[in-house]
Structure 1
C-alpha cells in the first residue's frame, strides 16, 4: 500500500520555533534497558520493495527507511502524540524569511554515511536534485514542483529536463537554503519525507539503485543502512557503524539488524513464526487471526492490531476506453461491489467497509455512506455502457486474501453484465501492482486490493495528490485513475489555497462530490495492521510509530 501519515499542517506553522531545542534523548536512554544485538527475521508473502531513497514509495519501504534515513527534521521513536512531533535531526534549527518563501537550515557536523563520508548541506541539495531529475522519475517530484502547493524555485525546470540542478537550493558553509516560489504551510511536512533524506553522491543522479551487496552500495546516514538487496529474495539492514551518539544522533538501535524475506508461502511463514524460526509475520492469514487473539490476547505479547490512516479502493482508469467518459459504468461498479465479504476476506481486526475516499483519520471527513450495495441500480447504470464488453483487471496475487478479494470483484463485474471470458485478470505480487499501474498508458481498466495511506494528514494529500491531472507523468504515478478533468483540477487548486476550518469543510464536501459526480474509484475499506510475532521478541520494545504506522525497527529488541 502506498503511504503515508505525516505531521498535521497545524503543527507546522509554528515556523522557526518548532522544537529547536528538542532531541531524541529519551528514546535513546530507554533503549539501554533492552537487550542489544541480534537479527530480527521478518517474512512477507509479497514481492520486494524499491530501496532507492528517491524512488521508494511503498509502506514497507518507508518503514525500512525510517531506520536508515537521516533527515533535516524527524519523528522520534515514540508511540502516540509524542511520536508525531517533528524534532531537529541533522538540522539543528531553521529560519523562515518574513515573506515565508525562504527556509534556511543549519546543518550539524558529525553525521556520517555508512561509507564513512560526512553528511553536509550538499547531501540534502543532492537529494532534491535527484527527486527533481526527469530521468529518475521520482514520485517525490510532485511534492516540490506543485504550482498550487510546495514549489521549489527551479525544481519544475529540472523535472522537465531543461536543467540538472535545482536553482532554488543553495549551500554556503553549514547552511542549506531553500527558496519557494510562494509561501507554503506544508513545506516542512514534505521536506521531512524520506525522499529528501541526506543522500550520498555515490547514488547516480538519474539512475535507480536496485542491487545492494554492502553498506557502500547504498550509503545512508541513519542508525541503520542497507547491506543487501536481492530483489524478491532478501533485503538486509544492519547498524551503521559510523552512527555515533552526538547532537541529533540519539535514536535507538537495539538490534544488530533486520532481514526481510520476500515471497514467502503464507502457511509456511505462519508456521515458522509459531515455531520461533521467523520473528514476524506482518499479515497473518485471516483464518488464524481470531485464534491468535484468543490465545495471546490483543496487544499483549505475540498478536497485535494497530489502526492505519488508510483507505482501500479500486481505481478506475479514466484514460482507457472502457471507463473514459463513462460515468454511469464507474457509478455502477461502486454500487455493485460487495464490500462486507471483500473486507471479510482479511479476517477479524482487519478494518471496516467504506464508500468514499476520506477515512476518519483525514481532516474534513464525513460519516456518510454513499454507495450501499444495490445490484438493481448497478445493472441499470451499466446497461448500454459496457462498450465492447471487455475489461482488464490488475490484482495482487500474493497471499490468500488478495486473490480472494479479486474473485469477489470478478463476480461483481459479472453481475453487472461482463461475461466471464471477457474479464482479463492480471496478477502482480506485493507492491508490483503499484509500479505497473503507475505507468501512464498501462492496459488496466481497474485495480483490486489497492489503497492509500496519508503522506501527511491533510486532505490535499488525498484529493490533489491522488486525482490532480497535471501531476500525471510517464511513470511512478499515484493518480491510478488517471483522472484529468479541467473543472476539477481548478477546484483542487482553489481548495489548496484555503486554510483553517474552511479548508477542511471544502475538501470534505469535495470528497463526497467527487465520488458522486466523477466516481474515479470505488472505495472499499479502512485498515488495521495485524502482526504475529515469535516468542523471541520482547513485547516491551514494540513502539508503534504512528507517523510510519509500524513498529520502530531501532526500538525493537529480542529477549
Structure 2
C-alpha cells in the first residue's frame, strides 16, 4: 500500500502544471488535461461525458460497440445472448473467471444487483430513465410512479438456475441492446458495494434508495469494476488510474493514466507542446488549427463524425430568484417566465450569428443543422427550416415581446457556460454582442460556471440560459428527439418548453418500428420546433482531435463516437506509445 501511495503522489506531482520545463511523459504513462471536473465514478449516477470517460475504462458493460461501428454490438462481460418471447426476453451467458478490482469474482448475482440497483435508484441525474423505460415501461422511479413495486423490479432482472442473466421486457424495444452498451449500465461489484454502505440488494431496504442521488456515493469514492484500469486516487484536481493486474483481457500497454483538471487553455496548451501532456482539451477546431497543427510532436486527426448536438437553452420557468435580478421587466432583471413568450425566443434565435460561429469557432468546417439530431441518424430532415442571423427580424420580435414592454423597458439576463469551454464562451459572447447592439436597454451578463454546478443547477431549473450538448447514449433518433423536445424528456427541466403536438408525435414514434412512419413524425417535430424556437441550435462541427505523435491507437479508422474519452473515440487499453 505504501508503494502504491508513493507512486500515486509522484505521478500526480509529475503531471502538475508548473512554470518550468518538464521531461516528456514516460512511455508507460498517459497524461490527459481537461478543463472540467468529474462529477462521479458511480456508474448508476454517470450521465455526463467527463464521468463516462473514466467509468468506461474502470468498469465494463455486458456488450460493447464493435470497432468503429455505432450500430454493431459484440459481447464484453457477456459471451453470447439469445432473444426470445417475441423480442421481449433477453438471456445472457456471462464471462467466467472475471475479477473485480477488489479481488471478488464476478457472478450473475453482481449483474442482477447492478441492474436492479439502477432501476431502484433511477435518480434524476442518472441515465437510468431510458433503461427503466425498457424494463418497467416508465422512465420514472418508484417515488414518482406508484405502479413500480419491488416485485416488478425483481421480475424484470433475474438469474436463472443455469447462472444466466435474464431480462424480461413489458414490450419490444429494438434499442435495448444498445442501451446495455452505455457506460452507466456497467456491472458493479455487489459484495464491495454492500460492504462500503450501498444498497444491500434486498426488498428490505429498497425503499430507502429510491431516487437517491448517487453522484457522491461511497461507490463513487471507492469504485470496484472489472475494467482494464483501477482507480488509485481521485481529488478535486487529478485522477490516477493504473492497469489492473487481474484483468481478464489483454494486458494494456499503458500502465498509468493521469487525468488532471487544468482550467486555463494556455496552460494546457503549453504542457501539450512541451510533451508533458499526451492529450488535452484543445478548445476546438479554430484553436487546433491556429495553435497546434504543424507544431513539432503534434498529430491532428480530422474529418471525424459528429454525433452530438448542442443548443442554447431558454428556460421558461426559472426557479432561482437570485438569477432574475429585479424579477421584473424594468431593465434590471427579467421575470421567471421571460422566455415563455415565443417572440422572445424567436428574437434570440435571430440574434445568433451562425455563420460567424462556424467561421470563428469551427474555422469554416461546420454545418447548421435543422434539428437537434445528428445528420447521420435516421429521422434527420434536411428540409426543416432554420434561423439565420437577422438583426431586423430580431428587433421586430423583441418589439412584439410581452406587449412591447421588452423593447420599451429593456432587460438584464444572466447566462452561464461551462468553465474552460472556449467554444461555449464564444457562442455566448456572439449572442451577447448582437442582442446588446439592438437596444441600449438590453443587457446580457455571461459567466463561467463549473461543469458539475452547471449540470445540477440547470437540472433544477435554476439557470435562465445555458449552452449544453448531448452525446448519444445509444444510436437511435429517439435518444435525441425525446431528450430535447419531449416534456417527459431528460432535458425538459432545463428549458420547461412543452408542446402537446410534439409530445404526441414523439410517443407515436416510440410505438412503431416502421422507419418511414418514424421519420415522418420526427420531421413534424423538427418543423414545430422551428416555429416555436425553444432552442438556439449551435452549428455542428466536423470532428477534430490532436495528440502527441508518440501516442498510438488514435485514428480516424478506429474512431468510435460512442466512446466518451476526450473525443478520441477509443479506450485507454487500446492505446500505447512508441
TM-score normalised according to structure 1 size:
0.80
Give deviations 1:259-310, integer Å, cap 9, x for gaps.
111134211211111111111123157664224675269xx96222333212
Note if contact 2:178-2:475 (Cα within 8 Å) is conserved in structure 1: no
Which of 541, 545, 559 is 1:527 aligned to?
Answer: 541
Equivalenced residue count is 502
Alignment map for 1:367-446 (pairs within 5 Å):
367-368=382-383, 369-385=385-401, 389-417=411-439, 419-421=441-443, 423-430=444-451, 432-439=453-460, 441-442=461-462, 444-446=463-465
Say whether residues 1:553 and 2:575 are aligned partners.
no
- The corresponding residue for 2:16 is none
- The corresponding residue for 1:47 is 37
Note if contact 2:129-2:140 (Cα within 8 Å) is conserved in structure 1: no
Which of 316, 319, 326 is 1:318 aligned to?
Answer: 316
Q: Could you tell me how far apart the structure 2 residues matched to 1:334 and 1:210 are?
A: 37
Q: Could you tell me how far apart the structure 2 residues matched to 1:285 and 1:483 are?
A: 30
Q: Describe the shift of the 1:357–1:144 C-alpha distance in structure 2 as closer, same or farther (beyond 3 A).
A: same
Say whether residues 1:140 and 2:130 are aligned partners.
no
Which of 100, 105, 130 is 1:118 aligned to?
Answer: 105
Unaligned 5+ runs, structure 1: 1-35
Using CA pairs under 8 Å that are at least 6 residues apart, name the structure with larger relative contact order, 1 or 2.
1
Q: Describe the shift of the 1:258–1:528 C-alpha distance in structure 2 as closer, same or farther (beyond 3 A).
A: farther
Which of 219, 225, 234 is 1:229 aligned to?
Answer: 234
Note if contact 2:309-2:373 (Cα within 8 Å) is conserved in structure 1: yes
- The corresponding residue for 2:189 is 200
- The corresponding residue for 2:470 is 452
Say whether residues 1:487 and 2:501 are aligned partners.
yes
Which of 159, 165, 175 is 1:171 aligned to?
Answer: 159
- The corresponding residue for 1:158 is 142
- The corresponding residue for 2:22 is none
Q: Could you tell me how far apart the structure 2 residues matched to 1:485 and 1:353 are?
A: 24
Give deviations 1:474-519, integer Å, cap 9, x for gaps.
xxx5653223333322221011122243144224413422322322
Q: 1:316 deviation in Å? A: 1.6
Q: Could you tell me how far apart the structure 2 residues matched to 1:253 and 1:308 are?
A: 28
- The corresponding residue for 2:21 is none
Q: Could you tell me how far apart the structure 2 residues matched to 1:316 and 1:275 are?
A: 41
Say whether residues 1:328 and 2:380 are aligned partners.
no
Which of 85, 91, 114 is 1:98 aligned to?
Answer: 85
Q: 1:178 deviation in Å? A: 1.4
Unaligned 5+ runs, structure 2: 1-25, 200-211, 319-335
Q: Could you tell me how far apart the structure 2 residues matched to 1:164 and 1:344 are?
A: 54
Q: Could you tell me how far apart the structure 2 residues matched to 1:313 and 1:137 are?
A: 21
Which of 482, 487, 509 is 2:523 aligned to?
Answer: 509
Q: 1:521 deviation in Å? A: 0.8
Give deviations 1:148-207, integer Å, cap 9, x for gaps.
xx2436985636386567222112341211121111111111122112111123342345
Secondary structure in 1 aligned to 2:170?
coil
Say whether residues 1:242 and 2:246 are aligned partners.
yes
Q: Describe the shift of the 1:499–1:259 C-alpha distance in structure 2 as closer, same or farther (beyond 3 A).
A: same
Which of 171, 177, 185 is 1:188 aligned to?
Answer: 177
- The corresponding residue for 2:512 is 498
Q: Describe the shift of the 1:417–1:292 C-alpha distance in structure 2 as closer, same or farther (beyond 3 A).
A: closer
Q: 1:347 deviation in Å? A: 4.6
Give deviations 1:448-491, integer Å, cap 9, x for gaps.
3x22222223211111122222346xxxx565322333332222
Q: Describe the shift of the 1:89–1:65 C-alpha distance in structure 2 as closer, same or farther (beyond 3 A).
A: same
Q: Describe the shift of the 1:334–1:355 C-alpha distance in structure 2 as closer, same or farther (beyond 3 A).
A: farther
- What RMSD in Å do the two structures reach over aligned CA positions? 3.2
Q: Could you tell me how far apart the structure 2 residues matched to 1:495 and 1:365 are?
A: 13
Secondary structure in 1 aligned to 2:90?
strand
Alignment map for 1:59-98 (pairs within 5 Å):
59-76=49-66, 78=67, 80-81=68-69, 84-98=71-85
Secondary structure in 2 aligned to 1:260?
strand
Q: 1:346 deviation in Å? A: 2.5
Alignment map for 1:274-313 (pairs within 5 Å):
274-284=273-283, 288-291=287-290, 295=294, 302-305=299-302, 306-313=304-311
Q: Could you tell me how far apart the structure 2 residues matched to 1:515 and 1:366 are?
A: 13
Q: Which has the larger radius of gyration?
A: 2
Q: Describe the shift of the 1:132–1:324 C-alpha distance in structure 2 as closer, same or farther (beyond 3 A).
A: farther
Say whether residues 1:366 and 2:381 are aligned partners.
yes
Secondary structure in 1 aligned to 2:309?
strand
Note if contact 2:293-2:299 (Cα within 8 Å) is conserved in structure 1: no
Q: Describe the shift of the 1:275–1:420 C-alpha distance in structure 2 as closer, same or farther (beyond 3 A).
A: same
